[in-house]
A and B are shown apart, each in its own frame.
Chain A
Amino acid sequence: GAVVSQHPSRVICKSGTSVKIECRSLDFQATTMFWYRQFPKQSLMLMATSNEGSKATYEQGVEKDKFLINHASLTLSTLTVTSAHPEDSSFYICSARGTIGALNTEAFFGQGTRLTVV
């Protein structure tokens, strides 16, 4: 099946610093990327949806100035957590949907990034 590569898988950063997470679709064109966050024993919560070349659409309660999303190409989207705080520690997962040939794909997930802010 199609592959979505997310990097890094794990990151520890100091409070106040920024962290960038990359999500790449390796063998298909990802027209839409979704960014989720999952706290322990909770469901994945959608943070934002981005379409290639457009500004991301953020879900209610998600600060767009804190979670910067860039989707400049059909194979790469990035999420930057700016001025990270301990409460931002979570499991961040990207999901990509797009086309392989003329067919629309299901949503494929990256491997996730476990962010710990100390």
Chain B
Amino acid sequence: RKEVEQDPGPFNVPEGATVAFNCTYSNSASQSFFWYRQDCRKEPKLLMSVYSSGNEDGRFTAQLNRASQYISLLIRDSKLSDSATYLCVLQTDSWGKLQFGAGTQVVVTP
């Protein structure tokens, strides 16, 4: 079993619609959780951190469920510019070592 699992997609989403997807992880000692965005052939960029209480940043909402070991991302009112691969990322030690999922591809269509 992979340590970080994501549905690779693609999730084809009409512009303006809502899309949500999860990521499951196996390391219960993971300390911090993030969603990164990666555009084709580019470096990952931090989208948002994920907290147990759930957090929102504009149209993006992230949730963490430690008991079930998954995190989720919801994108409301999708824009064409939201098309990207969304990486589920865990920090597994205090040095900042990150573990990446393979990503979920989102394609927003006009």
Residues of A within 8 A of B (CB): 6, 32, 34, 36, 41-46, 49, 51, 91, 93, 95, 97, 106-107, 109-112, 114
Contacts and interface: CB of A to CB of B under 8 A. Distances in A.
Contact of A106 (B41, B46, B102): B46
A42 B100 CA distance: 10
Contacts of A112: 41-43
In this complex, the interface size class of chain B, counting residues with CB under 8 Å from chain A, is 10 to 19
Given A41-B8, A43-B101, A43-B102, A97 B43 contact: no
Given A41-B8, A42-B102, A43-B102, A109 B96 contact: no
27 contacts: A32-B95, A32-B96, A34-B98, A36-B100, A41-B8, A43-B87, A43-B102, A43-B103, A44-B44, A44-B98, A45-B100, A46-B97, A46-B98, A49-B95, A51-B95, A91-B41, A93-B43, A95-B98, A97-B95, A97-B96, A107-B96, A107-B98, A109-B44, A109-B45, A110-B43, A112-B41, A112-B42
Interface string B67-110: 00000000000000000000100000001111111110000000
Contacts of B97: 34, 46, 49
A43 B95 contact: no
A34 B96 contact: yes
A29 B102 CA distance: 29
B4 interface: yes
B58 to A, nearest CB: 17
Contacts of B99: 46
A51 B95 CA distance: 9
Contacts of B8: 41
Contacts of B102: 41-43
Nearest to A98: B96
Contacts of B98: 34, 44, 46, 95, 107
A98 B4 CA distance: 25
Given A32-B95, A46-B98, 7 more contacts: A42-B102, A43-B87, A43-B103, A91-B41, A95-B98, A107-B96, A110-B43
